Every structure is written in structure tokens, then in C-alpha cells.
Amino acid sequence: MGIYRDEEIVALRVGETRQVICRDCSTPQQWTDTKEDDIITQQSIDKKDFVYFCDTCKKRLKVQEGKSSAVQPSRLVSSKTSQ
């Protein structure tokens, strides 16, 4: 199980189709149902291996230089694992 700072998580993969949903478009229920492999971190975006877009608002998840200037509200993320 990984441990993530809340501000490191910028998006989630949700549903059977693994849609990418940014923090602004996600619902509290999506955060409650989050598993570790659903998380997209700022670090994974900064690697520039992939380009991510939110499937809801269609905005690109941006590479951050230094610390993020946008502070998102804190959300509790439970890292559930399949048994």
C-alpha cells in the first residue's frame, strides 16, 4: 500500500472504462471508492511519459514546475486493495 500526500493526487481513474477524472470534476463517492491503482499523481504527469485529459471537462492535466500553485480542498483517500 502506498502513502500519498493529498496535494500529490491530481486525478482518478474511475469505472470499468478507467475514465480519467480531475479533482474538480470528481465526486466524493469516487474518492471514497478509490484504490491505489486508480490514483494519478502529479509526479506521473511530470514524467511526461503520457498526456492526461479529464474525460469530464476535457482539460489537460498540466505539468507543474515546482510546487503546485493551486491548492485543492483536502479529501480523504482510502487505499482499498482487492482480496
Q: Where are the domains of the chain?
A: 6-46
Query: What is the Cα 69 distance to its own chain's centre?
Result: 16
pLDDT at residue 2 above 90?
no
Alpha-carbon torsion angle 31, 28, 19, 4, nearest 10: -30
* pLDDT surpassing 60 at residue 45: yes
Q: Of 47-51, 55-59, 75-79, which range is least confident?
A: 75-79
Question: Model confidence at 63, in pLDDT bands (50, 70, 90)?
Answer: confident
pTM over the 0.75 mark: no
Q: Read off the pLDDT band of 65 (50, 70, 90).
A: low
